[in-house]
Amino acid sequence: MKSTSAVEKGNKPHQQAPKQTAHSSNLSAEALYKKLKESLDRTGNINHPETKKIEKSYMMTLSIDQLHLYNDMKLKALLPDGSPKKRTCGTCGRKESSDQKAYRLKYQEIAETVNAASGGGLSREKSDKEVDPYSLFYQWVFGTGKAVRNFDENSKMGNQFLNIEEIYYGIEKLVDSYIDKGTRTRDVSRNNPEKFNTGNQWLDDKTYMADALSNIITNPTSTFHGSFNATARIIKVDHGNLVDTYTVRVTCTDHMGATSGTRNPPVKGKYSGKATIPNNYYGPNGYMRTIQVNYNLTTKIHKAAISRQVSNLFK
């Protein structure tokens, strides 16, 4: 009968395994999390190569449940481009007059009501391509989202902007003027307080509001902006035997601020009217902080070549 050696007698797996230091994996995760936070603060974007590398190492230390929790937190804390969201500071400690508070609460009530009706869709962060005027209104009211938005012709805002009456007909007139006179640039702004939208001066506030809100369903971007300064420029002309194609670029920078949103309508206040709340009154991260909206849009206009040919006969 084979005897059992002393070593074999003491060979119990739970005794022979090396004793681990307490929570070594957790300590590693904590150290990596600290490095990840420091890197994100330094680079300003989770997609930066340095930060992404540290994040990958950190995520390898997490369990499945911890990964789900981490990804949920990341969605809430970061914008779609990977940069951190700026936290709103509400009123940021500013004192309000009774009129200022009334304006703020009125806008917040509207924004919250529409957000609830949309199933919370307005409060979710959206890319420049997908964001719409309703979401931007919500973000303006509560000081959330990005402070600068850039739109091209393929974005929702850009597509609607090109269909604003002043833009659409302004481009048509520019092309006609180019055919007749060689004009390449035209002001397509909407900023005359007496001929703001319809070409007629409003008689009272009720008429003004009715006109301003008339296209809130068909083109909410038009209502959202109110006035704006924009320029259309012909950047390319392709002559054909039957059809000429004119490529036009429309540019506009507009600042969506509290001054515009809380000033008396043109009938009473004109553009020199006093605003109830100045721009960024609650700070750049507070309620009603200004959103800069930039448009760089390209569109094509097609005209029968006969228009150009007839025009050339009289030059």
- Both tokens of 217, joined, read 């369903």
Check if the beta carbon of residue 275 is closer than 8 Å to that of residue 262.
yes
Q: What is the pTM (predicted TM-score) of this model? A: 0.69
Instruction: Give the pLDDT confidence score for residue 203 in this predicted structure.
Output: 47
Instruction: Give the pLDDT confidence score for residue 269 in this predicted structure.
Output: 40
Check if the beta carbon of residue 279 is closer than 8 Å to that of residue 257.
yes
> CA-to-CA distance for 250 and 87, rounded, in angstroms?
33
Distances (CA, A) of 161 to 164, 176, 222, 252, 310: 5, 21, 7, 10, 32
Instruction: Give the pLDDT confidence score for residue 24 in this predicted structure.
Output: 40
Residue ranges of the chain whose pLDDT lies below 50: 1-25, 192-203, 267-270
CA angle 193–195–197, rounded 5-degree value:
100
Burial 26-62 (b: 16+ CB within 10 A, else e): eeebeebbeebeebbeebebbebeebeebbeebeebb
φ/ψ region of 283 (left if φ > 0, alpha if ψ in -120 to 50, else beta) reads left
- Both tokens of 186, joined, read 């035209």
DSSP run (H or E) holding 302: strand 291-304
Distances (CA, A) of 267 to 201, 207, 210, 233, 309: 8, 9, 13, 32, 46
